[in-house]
Amino acid sequence: MKLQRPTSSDPSKFSVVNRDEKWTPTETAIIVCDVWDYHHSPNAVARLQQLLPRLDAVLKSARSKGVTIIHAPSDCMDAYQDHPARRRAIAVPRANEQPADIDSWCSAIPAEEKAAYPIDQSDGGEDDDKSVHAAWAKKLIKMGRNPNMPWQRQNAGITIDSQKDYISDRGDEVWNILTKQQIKNVVLTGVHTNMCVLGRPFGLRQMARNGKNVVLMRDMTDTMYNPARWPYVSHFEGTRRVISHVERFVCPTMTSDQWIGGTPFRFEGDDSPDPGSRTKSGREHRTDHWHLVEIKDATTPGSSAQNAHTSPQKSLFFRCIVRIPDRWFRANKEPMESTIGIRVQHQKDARVWINGVEQKNCINHLDSQVYLVPRSAVTIDDVNLLVIRTKGKQILEAPLIENQIDTFPLAGTWQMNAGTDLELTQMPLPAKFGGSSNIVFNAPDPLWTPRVLTRPNDFTNGIEGPACDHAGNVFAVNFSKQGTIGKVTPEGIASLFVTLPQGSIGNGIRFAPDGTFFVADYKRHNILRVDPHNKNISVHAHHDAMNQPNDLALSPDGKTLFASDPNWKEGTGQLWRIDHDGTATRIAQDMGTTNGIEVSPDGKTLYVNESKQRNVWAFDLSSQGNLSNKRLIRHFDDHGFDGMRCDIKGNLYITRHGKGTVIKMTPNGEILKEVRVLGTRPSNLCFGGPDRRTLYVTEVDSQRLIQFRVDQPGRE
């Protein structure tokens, strides 16, 4: 399969990586997305007709090998009420653990937030000749079909096996099927890549962020892209640019010949180079007359915009796409016909539209206007088009959404257009189809909701570490190969940061207050010091009596390190104190396999867990860094431990290796919360995010990072 990774020398540039994986057919599913019988674009229909025989051959071959086939022609379930494949899908028991919002459209995942979306699809992407399109619409009407949504069932060119296959267009039902069949690998085929294949509740984004090893079959798909729109390239080149975007920010791709032999499929008229080749992309683009602008939160340093756009003769229109969850309109868990507020700051004459409808209920304040938007004006648990018009002035401070729960700043990328035409307040299609992923604002997930941050297998099965720098980047060991350290942006873009000296392999990581970080080098019995500015690596501490330093903790003043030091073979362990000058002193021995280690927020307690013995211990910690009063906090009857961190209240977060959870536990051993983390082997964890309330977990099964929000900030 093929993916693209940022280069270590320039993270804005990408290089192609081809990776081999072995899949078990019975752990694999193919989803056939929206391969409808008819479409409103005759060109889209013509291209699909070319695709059908090859796609059907892929499905037949896969089915014969034991692969699960799920047919997902959206909006067409009425045609299949009595079909065995539809009844089979409905009969599947509900999965015990369904991801949050799995039944909703997904317009962007974090990795896409700062990426330049490669095409403008806001016109709907139809590339038809106008007269041909009009004639096609008349034909559809004569057939008794809605010319805008003419599909009624899946195309007859795709075989549905009534004895084996499933039919569903619902994300929760598809998730139930995947769970029941114990599916790990999901392949998306069908149309259209930039809209439904990416965004549907069963699409690439939902599968990626919820932990499936998802892949796009890039030659068994097509886009809705009109070459008359930016970037003004052929339809097929537009498709390639969307595929390149997928490979960079969403998931890998593969081709049909990997399933049935031969060569990759190519549409008639596509005489350009290899459809899987790398294509140009970047932030240079303008979506037709819409410019990309960055609008910052008023609390962000440097939020005063430089070179702000003004247009005295014309109004300025700013648009973005906002996912509005039901919980913003709820109080005491009961739905309310209440409002949310959209606060526009320092724009006296601003006007606001939601999904093309002007919102006129406004409360004027001295320095802002708050537009009250009723529940009935928005599409709940889905994306909505928000347009703000100003009288020729750039928006310098991010508008705010004020709701029942919190205040949500719309700080980030918007699109801007200068003009007077009120058609600029609308899109021809709903925002989830016409909008680009880089102007999407997703409300924060509910607390304790695990999401995938990095793609599967970006790291090795030695993934460990993790620790956050001041900018919110996550550093974890063994990126791509052993003996390295990877850097992951808050959006989930992973790249190689540094390679450790020959023979060194890292484990735990901790950042010092000055931005340098320390790495437990278990292979060479060192504590390494890494300067993140020049990437110089030096030995901070070494002691011949060390077994293999595993995890690290840092005193609240940032001057003293503590290291766990297990001997896995003998089931024993010890603890070390590393002073500011690098002097290593053994402070405990004759323990079990010491692993996770942490210092309490007040600096008076050192915690350590023993993986094999399943004990969590506490020591009194003196100001000189000595231990006393060893006491057992809690013993567990099953599953091991690994990493451990404290929040500011002193609660411990511990990974349960083998159980696939992270527990939140009081200093006295009472378990307050247990969160499943999309894999059975979480290894370590750290706090990060702007408010230190995002927990990042390294997960060994799929060699990736998981994240979820918590209720209290971490100690770091």
CA distance 40 to 38: 7
CA distance 504 to 596: 20
**DSSP labels, 516-563:** -EEEEETTTTEEEEE-TTT--EEEEEE-TT-S----EEE-TTS--EEE
The single-letter DSSP state of residue 78 is: G
Whether the CB-CB separation of 653 and 662 falls below 8 Å is answered with yes
642 is annotated as an active-site residue: yes
Out of 127, 551, 642, 647, pick the active-site residue: 642
CA distance 417 to 422: 11
Residue 9, CB-side half-sphere exposure with 13 Å CA sphere: 1
CA distance 500 to 518: 12
116's CB contacts (< 8 A; 6+ apart) are 281, 282, 283, 284, 285, 292, 438
Which amino acid makes up residue 665?
A: M
Whether the CB-CB separation of 287 and 436 falls below 8 Å is answered with yes
List, in sequence order, every beta strand (DSSP E) within 296-367.
Answer: 315-324, 330-331, 334-335, 339-345, 351-354, 357-359, 362-364
CA distance 610 to 640: 8
365's CB contacts (< 8 A; 6+ apart) are none
Token output for 41: 């674009």
306's CB contacts (< 8 A; 6+ apart) are none
Question: What is the helix (H) or strand (E) element at residue 324, kind and residue range?
Answer: strand 315-324
- Torsion on CA atoms 498, 502, 507, 513, rounded to nearest 10: -50
Whether the CB-CB separation of 607 and 616 falls below 8 Å is answered with yes
* CA end-to-end distance (rounded Å), the chain: 38
Q: Length of the chain in residues, anyone?
A: 716
Pick the closest to residue 692 from 667, 665, 710 (CA basis): 710
Known catalytic residues? 642
